[in-house]
Amino acid sequence: MTSTTAEMRPPRSEVGVIGWLRKNLFSSPTNALLTVIGIWLIWTVVSNVVDWALLHATWEGEDGKACSREGAGACWPFIQAKFSQFMYGRYPEPQRWRVDLTYVLAVIGLVPLMIPRFPGKLVNTLYMIVIFPIAAFLLLSGGYFGLPYIPTELWGGLLVTLVVASVGIAGAFPLGIMLALGRRSRMPIVRWVSVGFIELVRGVPLITVLFMASVMLPLFLPEGMTIDKLLRALIMVALFAAAYLAEVIRGGLQAIPRGQFEAADALGLTYAQKMGLIVLPQALKLVIPGIVNTFIGLFKDTSLVLIIGIFDLLGIVQLNQTDSKWFSHATAMTGYVFAGLIFWIFCFGMSRYSLFIERRLAASDRR
Amino acid sequence: MTATTNRPAPGPITPPAKPNLLYRPEFRQAVYQVLLVVCLLFAFWTIANNVADNLARQNIASGFGFWNRTSGFDISQSLIPYSNQSTYGQAFWAGLLNTLLVAVIGIVFATVLGFLVGIGRLSSNWLIARICGAYVELLRNVPLLLQLFFWYFAVLKNLPGPRQSIALPFGASLNVRGLYLPAPVPEPGFGAVLTALGIGIVLSIAVAIWARRRQRATGERFPVLWTTLALVLLLPGAVYIALGQPLSFQYPVLRGFNFQGGIAVLPELMALLVGLSTYTASFIAEIVRAGIAGVPRGQREAANALGLSSGLTMRLVILPQALRIIIPPLTSQYLNLTKNSSLAVAIGYPDFVSVFTGTVLNQTGQAVEVILLTMLVFLTISLITSAFMNWFNKHIALVER
C-alpha cells in the first residue's frame, strides 16, 4: 500500500524576505544586536558623507571664501579649478594632447592584452614592451619630430603617478626575473648575491631608498654628471619593486613540477631555452595575481615620491592645499577625498582584475 | 608476435672523447661566478672612488666623528632626556625609540582591529560581513600616505583650539594641539597593588600549566579563562580597595593658551597611529579571513558533531589551526607596519627616519654613513621580528605523527 501525503509548503517564517531576514540578520539575540549596531553605523556614516559631499557642499565659487561658511561641506569649486593641474601638473597647456594620446595608446595596447580570449597576444605584447614605451617617451618628453621638449620638472599629477608606477614595474620585471632565477641557481655566489639584494631591499622602507636616490645617487656619479630627478626616482623605484617581484616569481618557479625541468634537460635544451621556453611561461602565468598585487602596492607607494620633491597626484593635491587663494577648512578634506577616489578606482579595478584571473586559473586547474 | 630486433653486435667500448673544457658545467659555473664577482667589485670600486672624490670636493668629513657632536636641534617628543644640547648619537636613540613606540602600539591596535574585522567578514550576519568587507576594500586600496595626510591635515588640524576643546570621558580632552589624557600618579602603597598583580599573573600561569596537565591526564577541563581573569583583575583590585585606592590621577587643565599636566599625545603621533593601524588592520583582516577559510570544513563539522558551541568551536578548533596559516603573513604585515612608520617624516612626527635620515643627514651632510646606519637599523628590526615570529610559529606548528 502506498500513500502519498500532499507536499506541504515550508512555514512562512522560513522563506521569502522574512525567512532571509531571520536567517541572515536575526538568527540569535547577539546577531540581532549586531544588526542593529550595524544599521546605526551605516546610517551614521552614510548620512554624514551625504551631508558633507552633497547637501552642505559648496558647488560654485571663485575662491576659498565661498567654502568658508559655518558648517560647509565639500569645496567642489576647488577641484574644478585645479582639475587640470591634478591631471597634468605643470605640463604646458597646448601640449597636453600628447599626454592624452599616450593614454589612448596605452589603452589600445592594454585592453586586448587583459582580455584572455582576445587573439594575437604575441603581437600585442611586442607592442606593449617595444613600440609603446618608445612612442610614450617620444610623445611625453618631446624634442623630436617638431614636438617641443618638455622637461620632467613640469610633469606632475596623475601623469607622474602613472609614469612612475608603470616604468617602475616594467623596469623591475627583467631584474626581478633574473633575481628569482639567481636565488634558485646552483651557483653559490650568484645565489648569495641575489639573496643579499632581495633581503636588503625588502628589509628597508621605500623612503630610505628614495632618500638614497636624492642624496646618494649624485655622490655615486663622476664629477659633472647629473641625472634627472624623476629618472633617479624611477631607477630606485624599479630596483625596489624588483626585489618584491623576484619573491613573487620565485613562488611561481617553485610551483613548477620538477619533471618539467628534467624534460627540458632531456631534450637537450640550454639553460636559456629551458627557462625561456618551458619554465618561465608556466611560472609567470601562475603568478599573474601576485604580479598585479605587487603593481597595486607599487601604484600606492608612488605617492611617496612627493617626499623627495616630485609632484605626483598626491603631491600636487598637497601643494595646492597651501594655495592661500583657496584657503578654507574644507579644502584639505576635499582634495584628499578626490585624490583618494582616483587612487581607489585604479587599485580596486586592478584587484578585481587579479581576482578574475585567479578564478580563471583555478578553473583551468580543475578541468 | 615474435619479432626480434636486430641489435648490432657489441663491439669494443670506446671511451667518450674528453669533452671540451668549455662544455663542462663546473668550469662554466666557475667562469660565470668569477665574472659576476669581478663586475660587482668593479662597480663598488668605481662608486667608492666617485663618492670619495665628491665628498672631498664638497669638504664633507667621513667617519662617525659626528656621533658625539652637539646636535643643536629640538625633538618634539622623546622618551629619553633630550635637548638641543644633546649629541647626534642621542638624537639617533630618541628617534629610534619613537619609531619603536609607534610600531609597538600600532601593531597592538592593528592586530585587534584586524582580527575583529577578519572574523566579522566571515560572520553569519549578512550586514556585519558586508560592513567588514567594505572596510577592507576601502582602506587597502588607498595609499597610506594619503590616509595619513587625511587624518593629520584634514581631521586633526581642523579640530577646535585648546579653549574649545572637545571633552572626552575620564577627563581627557582633544584639541588641535593633541590629545590630553589624565596621568596616573602612584601614591605610597601602590607598590603592593603591583605586587598583587605580579602574583596574580604568576598564579594564573601556574593554574594554566596545571589545568593543561590535568586535561592531558584525565580529559577534564578547567575554567582557565575565568580563574585567570579573577587572579589578574580581582586580586590587585581587592588590594587596591583594601589599601584605600593608592592611585590618583593628574587631570589636564586649561591654563592660559594650553593644557598643563596629564599625558599629552602629539597630533602627529595620533594621526600616525590611527592611519597605520587602520590601514594595516585591513590587510590583517584579509589574512585572518584567508586563514580561517583555510581550515578544512570537516574540522568545523566534527566540532559541531561533538556538540561544541560556536564560541568553543572557534576557540578550540578553528583558531588554533588557522593561526598556523595566519602567522607567516602576519609577520610580514608587522614588518610592513614598522617600515611604514617611516612615513612619519611627511607629517612631522619625530620618528627615526625623520630625525636621523632627515635632520641629522641635512645638518652633517654625511649621506653615506647616515644611510648605511638607517639600513642597518631597519635590517636589525626586521631580523629580530622575523626571528621571534619564526620561534612562535615553530612553537604552535602542527606536530605530526
Residue found under cell 590583517: B284
Query: What integer pLDDT is reported at residue B179 of this predicted model?
Result: 82
Do the Cβ atoms of B33 and A318 come within 8 Å?
no
Query: What integer pLDDT is reported at residue A242 of this predicted model?
Result: 92
B275 band by pLDDT with thresholds 50, 70 and 90 = very high
What type of residue sits at position B270? Answer: M
pLDDT above 50: residue B1:
no
Distance CA A1, CA A29 (A): 47
B183 by DSSP, 3-state: which?
strand
b/e B60-95 (16+ beta carbons within 10 angstroms → b) = eeeeeebbeeebebebebbeeebeeebebebbbbbb
Residue B195 domain-assigned (yes or no): no
Q: Which of A27, A219, A343 sits opposite B143 (nearest CB)?
A: A343
Query: What integer pLDDT is reported at residue B105 of this predicted model?
Result: 92
Q: What is the distance in angstroms between the Cα of B258 and the nearest Cα belonging to chain A?
A: 22
Model confidence over B112-153: pLDDT tens digits?
999 999 988 888 888 889 999 999 999 989 999 999 999 988
Establish if B290 touches chain A: CB-CB under 8 angstroms: no
Interface of B with A in 339-358 (CB under 8 A): 339-340, 342-343, 345-346, 353, 357
Residue of B nearest to A223 (CA): B54
Which CA distances in Å does A317 have to A279, A313, B102, B123, B268? 45, 6, 27, 39, 20
Do the Cβ atoms of B342 and A24 come within 8 Å?
no
Q: What is the distance in angstroms between the Cα of A38 and the nearest Cα belonging to chain B?
A: 6
Residues of B with CB below 8 A from A216's CB? 367-368, 371
Split into its structural domains, chain A has a count of 1
Residue B328 domain-assigned (yes or no): yes
Model confidence over B46-105: pLDDT tens digits?
888 888 888 888 777 777 777 777 777 777 777 777 777 778 888 888 889 989 999 999
Segment B153-159 mean pLDDT: 82
Q: What is the distance in angstroms between the Cα of B335 and the nearest Cα belonging to chain A?
A: 8
Establish if B59 touches chain A: CB-CB under 8 angstroms: no
Residue B299 domain-assigned (yes or no): yes
Segment B11-30 mean pLDDT: 73
Residue B291 domain-assigned (yes or no): yes
Count the alpha carbons within 13 Å of B385 in the hemisphere toward its beta carbon.
24
Q: What is the distance in angstroms between the Cα of B372 and the nearest Cα belonging to chain A?
A: 10
Split into its structural domains, chain B has a count of 1
**pLDDT-flagged residues of chain A (< 50):** 367
Residue B102 domain-assigned (yes or no): yes
- As to burial, measured by CB atoms within 10 angstroms (0-12 exposed, 13-18 middle, 19+ buried), residue B164 is exposed
Q: What is the distance in angstroms between the Cα of B45 and the nearest Cα belonging to chain A?
A: 10
B42 band by pLDDT with thresholds 50, 70 and 90 = very high
Residues of B with CB below 8 A from A68's CB? none
CATH code where residue B363 lies: 1.10.3720.10
Crossing angle for the helix pair A331-366 and A288-301, to the nearest 10 degrees? 170
Residue B12 domain-assigned (yes or no): no
Residue B388 domain-assigned (yes or no): yes
The parent domain of residue B374 ranges over: 88-158+267-396
Q: Which of A41, A199, A321 sits opposite B153 (nearest CB)?
A: A321
Do the Cβ atoms of A347 and B142 come within 8 Å?
yes
Residue of B nearest to A308 (CA): B346
For residue B379, the tally of other CB atoms under 10 A from its CB is 15
Distance CA A302, CA A316 (A): 13
Residue A27 domain-assigned (yes or no): no
Model confidence over A7-48: pLDDT tens digits?
877 777 677 777 778 777 777 788 888 888 889 999 999 988
pLDDT above 80: residue B323:
yes
Do the Cβ atoms of B125 and A24 come within 8 Å?
yes
- As to burial, measured by CB atoms within 10 angstroms (0-12 exposed, 13-18 middle, 19+ buried), residue A345 is exposed
ipTM, two decimals = 0.86
Do the Cβ atoms of B143 and A314 come within 8 Å?
yes
B18 band by pLDDT with thresholds 50, 70 and 90 = low
Establish if B57 touches chain A: CB-CB under 8 angstroms: yes
Residue A314 domain-assigned (yes or no): yes
Do the Cβ atoms of A318 and B149 come within 8 Å?
yes
Number of A:B CB contacts under 8 A? 154
Which CA distances in Å does A61 have to A68, A76, A318, A326, B199? 11, 9, 21, 10, 67
Dihedrals phi, psi of A110, to nearest 5 degrees: -80, -45
Query: What integer pLDDT is reported at residue A254 of this predicted model?
Result: 85
The parent domain of residue A156 ranges over: 76-91+150-366
Q: What is the distance in angstroms between the Cα of A277 and the nearest Cα belonging to chain B?
A: 21
b/e B282-302 (16+ beta carbons within 10 angstroms → b) = bbbbbbbbebbeebeeeebee
Do the Cβ atoms of A208 and B127 come within 8 Å?
no
Establish if B401 touches chain A: CB-CB under 8 angstroms: no
B220 band by pLDDT with thresholds 50, 70 and 90 = confident
Q: Looking at B160-234, list the stretches that DSSP marks H as alpha helix, in order from N- to C-terminal side.
A: 190-218, 224-229
Residue A36 domain-assigned (yes or no): no
- As to burial, measured by CB atoms within 10 angstroms (0-12 exposed, 13-18 middle, 19+ buried), residue B399 is exposed
Distance CA B302, CA B295 (A): 12
Among A351, A353, A323, A349, residue whose Cα is nearest residue A335: A323
Residues of B with CB below 8 A from A220's CB? 47, 50-51
Do the Cβ atoms of B146 and A42 come within 8 Å?
no
Q: What angle do CA A309, A314, A320 make, to 5 degrees?
A: 80
Distance CA A269, CA A273 (A): 6
Residue B334 domain-assigned (yes or no): yes
Residues of B with CB below 8 A from A318's CB? 149
CATH code where residue A235 lies: 1.10.3720.10
Residues of B with CB below 8 A from A321's CB? 153
Higher pLDDT, A247 or B158: A247
Contacts of B387 (CB under 8 A, 6+ apart): none
pLDDT above 80: residue B285:
yes
| Mean of the per-residue pLDDT values of chain A | 83
